[in-house]
Amino acid sequence: MNPNNDWFTIEEIDRFTFAISEYGHWEQFHSYLLIGQNEACLIDSGLGIGNIALECRKITDKPVKVITTHVHWDHIGGHKYYDKIYVHKDDSNWLENGLPISIESIRKSVTKIPFTKPLPEGFDINKYEVYQGKPFCELSDGDIIEISERRVEIIHTPGHSPGHICILEPETGYLFVGDLIYQGDLFAFFDSTDPIKYAASVRKITKLKKVKRIFPSHNQNDLPISFAHKVNQAFEELKRRKKLKHGSGIHKFDGFTIKI
């Protein structure tokens, strides 16, 4: 019997790259599995509602390491199943010592909108916890991570969190952008966010030369490069209007909203 039921959806990006999605949750969350010759890499480990390690084993029997785009509860839910956890040094403290938010608030966030798919067997929101642990490796901007013959580059993109990163695979042109850009509500209003750095990070990825496809953590899981440029233009507009500061409000654009 599969304890995950049908909670996860596996979608093939190419023969060696997969999206593992949690469409039954309001966040429409995506993790990404990159498979090399002798090992694999999971980019974020999802919500922690189901066992993502079981899903990865459906795809590959190779050992898996995890790269964390940033340390928010919805990105580290399955970290407990893995030993090799990579995280940017500016988010490392949250991973090791806990997020600056109560578990009660997090549990409310998990369930604030009804689930649209059956929950995995044994899931109990009252027992839901957020992963804490010492990282295997702390990352910096420009680091190269090898996944056997595959190589990905770490791009520090702070703003949504201090240690938020994007992950670029130059050979394929895949850019995994975490929560930096996606269709929906972009969050830069938490005390731990920085709208000015957020805008600079969006501008930074629009200047990358080798990007062919963009893979975000939420909602539609494959976006054209043009979408990143739309978000960049929106932040530039807010900058001109002197709105890049906490409390400036909710700003609606075509296909996304920026909350500051």
Mean pLDDT, residues 208-222 taken together? 96
Mean pLDDT, residues 39-61 taken together? 98
Q: Is the pTM of this model over 0.95?
A: yes
- Predicted local confidence at residue 3, as pLDDT: 81
Mean pLDDT, residues 120-143 taken together? 97
Give the pair of three-digit tokens for residue 20: 């593992």
Mean pLDDT, residues 227-248 taken together? 97
What is the Cα–Cα distance from 72 to 204, expressed in whole angstroms?
Answer: 22
Cβ pair 27, 47 in contact under 8 A: yes
User: How many domains does one find in the chain?
Assistant: 1
Angle at 90 between CA 87 and CA 93, to 5 degrees: 80
Average pLDDT, whole number, for the chain?
97
Residue 3 counted as domain residue: no
- Torsion angle, CA of 172/88/244/182, rounded to 10 degrees? 40
Residue 1 counted as domain residue: no
Residue 29 counted as domain residue: yes
Q: How confident is the model at residue 17 (pLDDT cuts 50, 70, 90)?
A: very high
- Predicted local confidence at residue 115, as pLDDT: 97
Q: How confident is the model at residue 117 (pLDDT cuts 50, 70, 90)?
A: very high
Contacts of 83 (CB under 8 A, 6+ apart): 136
187-202 pLDDT, tens digit each: 999 999 999 999 999 9
- Predicted local confidence at residue 4, as pLDDT: 85
Mean pLDDT, residues 116-135 taken together? 96
Give the pair of three-digit tokens for residue 203: 């501008």
Residue 163 counted as domain residue: yes
CATH of the domain at 60: 3.60.15.10
- Torsion angle, CA of 210/216/220/224, rounded to 10 degrees? -20
Cβ pair 237, 252 in contact under 8 A: no
For residue 1, pLDDT beyond 60: no
- Predicted local confidence at residue 86, as pLDDT: 98
Q: Which residues span the domain enclosing 44?
A: 9-259
Residue 171 counted as domain residue: yes
- Predicted local confidence at residue 178, as pLDDT: 98
Q: What is the 3-state secondary structure (H, E, C) of the chain?
A: CCCCCCCCEEEEEECCEEEEEECCCCCCEEEEEEECCCCEEEECCCCCCCCHHHHHHHHCCCCEEEECCCCCHHHCCCHHHCCCEEEECCCHHHHHHCCCCCHHHHHHHHCCCCCCCCCCCCCCHHHCCCCCCCCCEEECCCCEEEECCEEEEEEECCCCCCCCEEEEECCCCEEEEECCCCCEEEECCCCCCCHHHHHHHHHHHHCCCCCCEEEECECCCCECHHHHHHHHHHHHHHHHCCCCCCCCCEEEECCEEEEC
Residue 83 counted as domain residue: yes
60-92 pLDDT, tens digit each: 999 999 999 999 999 999 999 999 999 999 999
Residue 48 counted as domain residue: yes
Residue 14 counted as domain residue: yes
